A = this chain, B = another copy of it.
Amino acid sequence: MRVDLTQLGLPIIQAPLAGGPSTPRLAAAVSEVGAFGFLAAGYKAPDTVRDDIRDLRALTDAPFGLNIFAPPAPADSAALERYATTLAADAERYGVALGEPRHDDDAFEGKVRLAADEAIAVVSFTFGCPSPGIVRRLHDADADVWVTVTSPAEAREAQEAGADALVVQGFEAGGHRGYFIDDPGAEDYGLIALLRLVADRVALPLIGAGGIADGAALAAVLCAGAVAGQIGSALMLAAEAGTSAAHRAALRTGGSTALTRAFSGRQARGIVNRFMREHGDDAPIAYPDVHHLTAPLRAAARTAADPEAVNLWAGQGYTLAAQAPAAEIVTRIAADARSTLAAVGARLGGGQQA
């Protein structure tokens, strides 16, 4: 293992935040202060990702990670066509044509090759488990492999594939659920219980993800068995994040979050808006087809600063997010975690004795 998670200066991993918020500046700011920054390869061409890597390396010598989407399961094309017809009024409203619902693998092989070529310290996967062969290729390139898991069964599968660490994603998390398969019958676990169940079954370093927006929550996941916490929404208002104006405004306004397939064809948590309410029940399991189908709508709404048809990804703790430079956000969260642990340990009378 190339990155020893127990030796991070701050026990915080930046969530990859694909789809806009991820920027080289954000990852650099996070890694520079001793936490661990990430680039998101998702939705981007390998050449664009290479540019991001170079931009990031121009900003910092600190190690960072690259997140890659695992190839998707087949989609139901009949359900997809039916869904497209339900979006006609929205297309008219925003004056755009719907996108072509392509079923692609987001240039998976090209991104794995890029990660190996560029000697990225950590390559993490979301939406599936890389094969043992892919894991070996990355290990041969001196990269660590992390896998996002949402259940004890996925955790075991990732361990068997050779993963070096697991990003354990609770139900609270914003953005896409990392399920290997988007199965409506699967159990969604809250983060504390999931960390305990995974720690009971696998022997890998765990990174807790989902709803962690302040130091007390970070201290909580560290107690629950994580060696670090991954924060996403807490960085979405950072100066260095590429979060859109419509998204920033929604994050500051508040409101419930829910899971939806309306935007992408895969379950993801966002702030509830009109598009989710009107289309959530009709949306099929068809990722990334639906992502491409709705892309022009979302882009037009974003341009119009209309949050009602934008995918407003947010975890359940998002209203606690601060507007500040990323370095200040992660430094404060880590410091608050330390003081929380000290205060709770002192109250229980065991904090000073171990």
The interface of chain A, by Cβ under 8 A from chain B, is 6, 11, 170-172, 187-197, 199-200, 210-214, 216-217, 219-225, 256-258, 315-317, 319-320, 334, 337-354
Contact = CB atoms under 8 A, between A and B. Distances in A.
Contacts of A172: 189-190, 192-193
B320 A196 contact: yes
Given A171-B188, A339-B354, 13 more contacts: A6-B347, A187-B258, A191-B191, A192-B211, A192-B217, A193-B213, A196-B317, A196-B320, A219-B223, A220-B220, A338-B345, A342-B352, A345-B354
Contact of A214 (B191, B196, B319, B320): B196
Contact of A344 (B200, B222, B334, B349): B222
A317 B221 contact: no
B337 A341 contact: no
A42 B19 CA distance: 49
B170 A190 contact: yes
A193 B351 contact: no
B345 A351 contact: yes
A269 to B, nearest CB: 10
Q: What is the count of identical protomers in the complex?
A: 2
Nearest to A258: B187
Given A190-B170, A193-B315, A354 B346 contact: yes
A347 to B, nearest CB: 7
B11 A348 contact: yes
A344 B219 CA distance: 8
A144 to B, nearest CB: 20
A340 B353 CA distance: 11
A63 B257 CA distance: 40
Contacts of A339: 350, 354
A220 to B, nearest CB: 4
A189 B340 CA distance: 22
A192, A315, A341 pick with most chain B CB within 10 angstroms: A192
Nearest to A349: B338
A320 B152 CA distance: 13
Closest 8 CB pairs of A and B: A338-B350, A342-B354, A193-B211, A193-B316, A172-B190, A219-B223, A190-B190, A220-B224
Nearest to A318: B193
Contacts of A188: 171
A347 B10 CA distance: 11
A281 to B, nearest CB: 11
A199, A315, A341, A342 pick with most chain B CB within 10 angstroms: A341
Nearest to A345: B341
Given A187-B256, A220-B221, A194 B351 contact: no
Contacts of A200: 319-320
Nearest to A269: B187
A196 B225 CA distance: 19
Contacts of A351: 338, 341-342, 345, 351-352, 354
